[in-house]
Amino acid sequence: MPGILLGDVFPNFEANTTLGKIKFHDYLEDSWGVLFSHPKDFTPVCTTELGRAARLAGEFQKRNVKMIALSIDSVEDHLGWSKDINFYNGEPASATLPFPIIADDKRELAIQLGMLDPDERDKDGIPLTARCVFVVGPDKRLKLSILYPATTGRNFDEILRVIDSLQLTAQKRVATPVDWKPGDRCMVLPNISEEEAKALFPDGVFPKDLPSGKKYLRYTP
Protein backbone atom coordinates (compact mmCIF):
# COMPACT_ATOMS: atom_id res chain seq x y z
CA MET A 1 0.00 0.00 0.00
CA PRO A 2 1.49 3.35 -0.96
CA GLY A 3 0.15 5.23 2.07
CA ILE A 4 1.88 3.46 4.96
CA LEU A 5 4.40 0.63 5.31
CA LEU A 6 4.84 -2.11 7.88
CA GLY A 7 6.67 -0.75 10.90
CA ASP A 8 5.60 2.84 10.28
CA VAL A 9 3.91 4.76 13.08
CA PHE A 10 0.23 4.83 12.12
CA PRO A 11 -1.08 8.38 11.58
CA ASN A 12 -2.69 9.90 14.67
CA PHE A 13 -5.63 11.22 12.68
CA GLU A 14 -8.69 13.00 14.04
CA ALA A 15 -12.08 11.95 12.71
CA ASN A 16 -15.80 12.18 13.30
CA THR A 17 -17.36 8.80 14.09
CA THR A 18 -20.65 7.30 15.17
CA LEU A 19 -19.37 7.53 18.76
CA GLY A 20 -18.19 11.14 18.49
CA LYS A 21 -14.91 12.77 17.51
CA ILE A 22 -11.78 10.70 18.13
CA LYS A 23 -8.02 10.99 17.90
CA PHE A 24 -6.81 7.60 16.77
CA HIS A 25 -3.92 7.03 19.22
CA ASP A 26 -6.06 8.20 22.14
CA TYR A 27 -8.84 5.86 21.03
CA LEU A 28 -6.47 2.88 21.02
CA GLU A 29 -4.87 3.74 24.38
CA ASP A 30 -2.59 0.75 25.13
CA SER A 31 -4.59 -1.73 23.08
CA TRP A 32 -3.99 -3.34 19.73
CA GLY A 33 -6.21 -1.93 17.00
CA VAL A 34 -7.81 -3.07 13.77
CA LEU A 35 -9.11 -0.52 11.26
CA PHE A 36 -11.18 -1.91 8.41
CA SER A 37 -12.47 0.25 5.57
CA HIS A 38 -15.59 -0.08 3.46
CA PRO A 39 -16.47 1.28 0.00
CA LYS A 40 -19.88 2.72 0.89
CA ASP A 41 -22.83 2.61 3.28
CA PHE A 42 -26.00 0.68 2.43
CA THR A 43 -24.15 -1.78 0.19
CA PRO A 44 -24.55 -5.58 0.36
CA VAL A 45 -21.03 -6.91 0.98
CA CYS A 46 -20.20 -4.20 3.51
CA THR A 47 -23.36 -4.95 5.47
CA THR A 48 -22.43 -8.63 5.78
CA GLU A 49 -18.89 -7.72 6.82
CA LEU A 50 -19.90 -5.28 9.53
CA GLY A 51 -22.48 -7.76 10.73
CA ARG A 52 -19.81 -10.43 11.09
CA ALA A 53 -17.42 -7.99 12.75
CA ALA A 54 -20.10 -7.10 15.29
CA ARG A 55 -20.75 -10.77 16.08
CA LEU A 56 -17.02 -11.33 16.63
CA ALA A 57 -16.51 -8.21 18.78
CA GLY A 58 -16.14 -10.34 21.92
CA GLU A 59 -13.30 -12.31 20.31
CA PHE A 60 -11.44 -9.12 19.46
CA GLN A 61 -12.00 -7.82 22.99
CA LYS A 62 -10.51 -11.04 24.45
CA ARG A 63 -7.35 -10.25 22.48
CA ASN A 64 -7.24 -6.64 23.72
CA VAL A 65 -8.00 -5.36 20.21
CA LYS A 66 -10.09 -2.23 19.63
CA MET A 67 -12.06 -2.27 16.39
CA ILE A 68 -12.90 0.73 14.22
CA ALA A 69 -14.52 0.83 10.78
CA LEU A 70 -14.37 3.48 8.04
CA SER A 71 -16.70 4.33 5.20
CA ILE A 72 -16.93 7.31 2.85
CA ASP A 73 -20.34 8.54 3.97
CA SER A 74 -21.51 10.84 6.76
CA VAL A 75 -22.07 10.02 10.43
CA GLU A 76 -25.81 10.42 9.83
CA ASP A 77 -25.67 7.82 7.03
CA HIS A 78 -23.58 5.52 9.23
CA LEU A 79 -26.17 5.67 12.01
CA GLY A 80 -28.96 4.85 9.58
CA TRP A 81 -26.93 2.02 8.06
CA SER A 82 -26.18 0.63 11.54
CA LYS A 83 -29.90 -0.13 11.94
CA ASP A 84 -29.79 -2.33 8.84
CA ILE A 85 -26.63 -4.07 10.09
CA ASN A 86 -28.26 -4.80 13.44
CA PHE A 87 -31.39 -6.10 11.73
CA TYR A 88 -29.22 -8.32 9.48
CA ASN A 89 -27.68 -9.77 12.66
CA GLY A 90 -31.08 -10.41 14.22
CA GLU A 91 -30.54 -7.64 16.77
CA PRO A 92 -32.81 -4.68 17.60
CA ALA A 93 -32.31 -2.00 14.95
CA SER A 94 -31.72 0.59 17.67
CA ALA A 95 -28.77 -1.29 19.19
CA THR A 96 -25.35 0.38 19.19
CA LEU A 97 -22.65 -1.38 17.18
CA PRO A 98 -19.70 -2.48 19.35
CA PHE A 99 -17.28 -0.25 17.44
CA PRO A 100 -17.35 3.23 15.87
CA ILE A 101 -17.55 3.92 12.14
CA ILE A 102 -15.39 6.78 10.83
CA ALA A 103 -17.04 9.29 8.50
CA ASP A 104 -14.54 9.83 5.66
CA ASP A 105 -16.99 11.60 3.36
CA LYS A 106 -14.22 13.79 1.88
CA ARG A 107 -12.01 10.71 1.31
CA GLU A 108 -9.14 12.40 3.16
CA LEU A 109 -8.16 9.30 5.14
CA ALA A 110 -8.71 7.04 2.15
CA ILE A 111 -6.18 9.10 0.20
CA GLN A 112 -3.73 9.45 3.10
CA LEU A 113 -3.69 5.71 3.77
CA GLY A 114 -3.73 4.59 0.12
CA MET A 115 -7.15 2.93 0.30
CA LEU A 116 -8.82 3.97 -2.96
CA ASP A 117 -9.77 1.27 -5.47
CA PRO A 118 -9.20 2.66 -9.00
CA ASP A 119 -11.36 -0.04 -10.60
CA GLU A 120 -14.49 0.49 -8.49
CA ARG A 121 -16.24 3.84 -8.84
CA ASP A 122 -19.50 5.39 -7.67
CA LYS A 123 -22.24 6.77 -9.90
CA ASP A 124 -20.24 10.02 -10.29
CA GLY A 125 -17.11 8.17 -11.41
CA ILE A 126 -15.22 8.78 -8.14
CA PRO A 127 -13.08 5.84 -6.88
CA LEU A 128 -14.50 3.92 -3.93
CA THR A 129 -12.55 2.91 -0.87
CA ALA A 130 -11.08 -0.59 -1.13
CA ARG A 131 -11.51 -3.15 1.66
CA CYS A 132 -8.38 -2.49 3.70
CA VAL A 133 -7.40 -4.07 7.00
CA PHE A 134 -4.78 -2.38 9.18
CA VAL A 135 -3.60 -4.03 12.40
CA VAL A 136 -1.81 -1.60 14.72
CA GLY A 137 0.21 -2.65 17.76
CA PRO A 138 0.24 -1.06 21.21
CA ASP A 139 3.35 0.86 20.05
CA LYS A 140 1.09 2.49 17.39
CA ARG A 141 3.11 0.92 14.56
CA LEU A 142 1.55 -0.90 11.61
CA LYS A 143 1.91 -4.67 12.10
CA LEU A 144 -0.13 -5.93 9.16
CA SER A 145 -2.05 -4.62 6.16
CA ILE A 146 -4.34 -6.53 3.81
CA LEU A 147 -5.96 -4.99 0.75
CA TYR A 148 -9.06 -6.52 -0.85
CA PRO A 149 -10.89 -5.15 -3.90
CA ALA A 150 -14.33 -3.71 -3.29
CA THR A 151 -15.94 -6.80 -4.85
CA THR A 152 -14.42 -9.32 -2.40
CA GLY A 153 -15.62 -9.64 1.19
CA ARG A 154 -13.14 -10.33 3.98
CA ASN A 155 -12.82 -13.34 6.27
CA PHE A 156 -12.86 -12.02 9.83
CA ASP A 157 -11.91 -15.41 11.27
CA GLU A 158 -8.68 -15.09 9.29
CA ILE A 159 -8.12 -11.61 10.71
CA LEU A 160 -8.43 -13.06 14.22
CA ARG A 161 -6.00 -15.86 13.31
CA VAL A 162 -3.47 -13.35 12.04
CA ILE A 163 -3.80 -11.26 15.20
CA ASP A 164 -3.17 -14.40 17.29
CA SER A 165 0.03 -14.94 15.31
CA LEU A 166 1.12 -11.31 15.60
CA GLN A 167 0.57 -11.28 19.35
CA LEU A 168 2.38 -14.59 19.86
CA THR A 169 5.39 -13.67 17.72
CA ALA A 170 5.64 -10.28 19.43
CA GLN A 171 6.30 -12.12 22.70
CA LYS A 172 8.08 -15.32 21.62
CA ARG A 173 10.95 -15.87 19.19
CA VAL A 174 8.94 -18.09 16.87
CA ALA A 175 7.19 -17.92 13.51
CA THR A 176 3.83 -19.48 12.64
CA PRO A 177 3.67 -21.84 9.63
CA VAL A 178 1.02 -22.16 6.96
CA ASP A 179 -2.55 -22.57 8.27
CA TRP A 180 -1.32 -22.22 11.88
CA LYS A 181 -3.94 -21.91 14.60
CA PRO A 182 -3.48 -21.28 18.34
CA GLY A 183 -2.26 -24.47 19.97
CA ASP A 184 -0.46 -25.72 16.83
CA ARG A 185 3.30 -26.16 16.69
CA CYS A 186 5.40 -23.14 15.80
CA MET A 187 8.65 -22.76 13.84
CA VAL A 188 11.95 -21.91 15.50
CA LEU A 189 13.48 -18.85 13.82
CA PRO A 190 16.44 -19.63 11.52
CA ASN A 191 18.74 -17.17 13.34
CA ILE A 192 18.49 -19.11 16.62
CA SER A 193 21.31 -21.60 17.18
CA GLU A 194 20.65 -25.16 18.33
CA GLU A 195 22.11 -24.41 21.76
CA GLU A 196 20.01 -21.29 22.22
CA ALA A 197 16.90 -23.09 20.97
CA LYS A 198 17.29 -25.76 23.65
CA ALA A 199 17.34 -23.06 26.32
CA LEU A 200 14.46 -21.07 24.84
CA PHE A 201 12.14 -24.01 24.21
CA PRO A 202 12.26 -26.48 27.12
CA ASP A 203 9.37 -28.49 25.63
CA GLY A 204 11.69 -29.54 22.84
CA VAL A 205 12.80 -28.61 19.33
CA PHE A 206 11.95 -31.10 16.62
CA PRO A 207 13.78 -30.75 13.29
CA LYS A 208 12.43 -32.37 10.14
CA ASP A 209 14.86 -34.38 8.04
CA LEU A 210 15.05 -33.01 4.50
CA PRO A 211 16.80 -34.19 1.31
CA SER A 212 19.08 -31.14 1.46
CA GLY A 213 20.37 -32.20 4.88
CA LYS A 214 19.70 -28.69 6.17
CA LYS A 215 17.88 -28.49 9.51
CA TYR A 216 15.92 -25.30 8.97
CA LEU A 217 12.45 -26.83 9.52
CA ARG A 218 12.44 -26.86 13.32
CA TYR A 219 9.20 -27.16 15.25
CA THR A 220 8.41 -26.44 18.87
CA PRO A 221 5.13 -26.77 20.81
Active site residues: 46
Distance CA 53, CA 73 (A): 19
The DSSP bridge pattern shows strands 218-220 and 14-17 to be unpaired
Inter-CA distances, 32 with 65, 109, 187, Å: 5, 20, 24
Contact 69, 38 (CB under 8 A): yes
Residue type, 4: I
Distance CA 162, CA 182 (A): 10
Sheet holding 206-207, edge to edge: 174-175, 186-188, 218-220, 206-207
The DSSP bridge pattern shows strands 131-136 and 142-148 to be antiparallel
